[in-house]
Amino acid sequence: TLVGGIKRVVNGVIDHYLAVCLFLSLFTMTIIGVGSIAIVGQLGLVLCISGFLQKSAKADLRVLCPLLIYHILGLISCYTAFHRLVPGYPATQSVFSVIYLLMACLSQQDLLLLRRLCAAWAGVIAAIGIGQFAFYAVAQNAKRLGGILGNPNALGIFMVIGWFALLSCGSQEEETEGPWLSLLLRMEPLLLIAAALALSLGSFLSMAAGIFILFASKMRSASFMEALLYLCRILARASLGVGTGILLYLTATRTSAPWLCVPMLLYAAALMLCWKRFLRFLLAYNWVSVTMTLAGLLVAAAAIVVRPSSIATFAERLAMMRNGLGYIAANPILGVGPYKWRELNLADADKFFNTSHIHNMFIHVGAELGLAAMVMLALITVRCFRKKTASGQLAQCTAFLFHNLIDTSFFYTGITSMMLMTAAEPAKGGKEMPQVVLRLLLCAFALMFAYNLYLLSN
């Protein structure tokens, strides 16, 4: 009955309330872009209170300790530059440590539930974005899709991370068919189509890097031919989804009848409904996977042709990184301060790049927060790759890292939170954390969030 169904849902939320709290925080942080100190501060307080009720946690100290030191160094740099802890992204990024601490309290079952919820949320964002694109196409004002995140490059990598999270969820299913797997599989083409509509070549390259990791991981447990066929099946899935998105984009922007994108949307809907059958077809006929993989080269060529300016953009990013390295050399200890690089770049003799973040997370952090903060990020990155994680999560880490070497997704609170919630496994290689230590850390973060909110109100 309806009442019984509602009771089961409520009981499920109560049983897994911490995972649900984390997911709801992601829901909000995705919408606020690079972050709002007021909103993140309130979310941080709620998360700290939720974590205070936990009795145990198991965290990887080789990730947690550098992360805490990174936040402390960022706050010191912020205070040195502004004589207060706000404004600046160190105040908003502190929520990452809280998220990691709460994930250390979750069981493996709750971690998998959180990963599924996040992958489903990426599918919802993709569906909303495709709907927005269709609306603007009919109004003859279609352009690269930014969606809820408001930026095509940010949306592109968000879809890529969501896609790898979806693949990771599917590989961990015990049952061959289940409601979660069925729902997530049908969302896969939506993620790929939305990524194509964003037309972010950096995201496509990040996806390619993650797929290579999947192939390399498969090579360890299977023969070369089996791994190659597995790679072809993955590429066939990506080629069909991304190819459909490219065709939808070209129909809406490069023809005199953009309303013709409506039949393409109907095709996308049919693709979503028949996706499971398509996957079974790939398993049954290997030659189809190989053929579609070769066709994927045409899809890649089409993406490059549609965005010929991407090469010039890449050259500009290299110049931006060179500019940032100069500021690291001049200010190696605490950097120039959060968000100071942009105004300094406006006044220096170099080209003004008209962006708030250098398109390389290590160089940007080194320039604004100092070399020590940059080293902390590097230590976290090395530890993530040395942990024995599942191939899907390792592919996520690779895609996220690659993207942040040429773009700025690390500074989007929702994107980095999504990455943490779907790929991090604090308990793996971790140590038991006494309840008193957990509560002291959460209390410290809660006081900081409350203090930041107080500063904003005065």
Strand, helix or coil at 126?
Answer: helix
Q: Residue 172 has what pLDDT? A: 41
User: CA-CA distance, 45 to 98, in Å (whole number)?
Assistant: 10
Question: Which pLDDT value is given to residue 310?
Answer: 65
Q: Which two tokens stand for residue 100?
A: 């990691």
Cβ neighbors of 50 (< 8 A, separation 6 or more) are 17, 18, 21, 102
pLDDT at 3: 47
**Tens-digit pLDDT profile for the chain (458 aa)?**
544 544 554 445 556 788 889 999 998 899 887 778 888 889 999 999 988 888 888 999 999 999 999 999 998 998 888 888 777 788 889 999 999 999 999 988 899 889 999 999 999 999 999 999 988 888 777 788 888 888 899 999 999 999 999 988 864 434 444 566 778 888 999 999 999 999 888 899 999 999 999 999 999 888 899 999 999 999 999 999 999 998 898 888 887 777 788 888 899 999 999 998 898 898 888 888 889 888 888 877 777 777 666 666 778 888 899 999 999 999 899 999 998 999 899 888 888 888 888 999 999 999 999 999 999 999 999 998 888 777 888 999 999 999 999 998 999 999 999 999 999 889 888 889 888 999 999 999 999 999 888 888 77
Residue 168, both tokens: 């990771």
What pLDDT is recorded for position 170?
63
**Alpha-carbon separation of residue 123 from 38, 54, 82, 128, 351 (angstroms):** 27, 31, 40, 9, 39
Helix 95-103 and helix 435-456, axial crossing angle in degrees, nearest 10 = 150
3-class SS letters over 365-388: HHHHHCHHHHHHHHHHHHHHHHCC
- Angle formed by the axes of helices 224-253 and 179-198, nearest 10°: 60
- CA dihedral 281→287→293→299, nearest 10 degrees, is -80
Spatial separation of the C-alpha atoms in residues 57 and 106, rounded to whole Å: 8
57's enclosing H/E stretch is: strand 57-59
Q: Tokens 């997704």 identify what position?
A: 409
**Residues whose CB is less than 8 angstroms from the CB of residue 296 and which lie 6 or more positions away in sequence, other chains included:** 235, 236, 238, 239, 242, 243
**Max Cα–Cα distance, the chain, nearest Å:** 71
Q: What is the pLDDT of residue 2?
A: 45
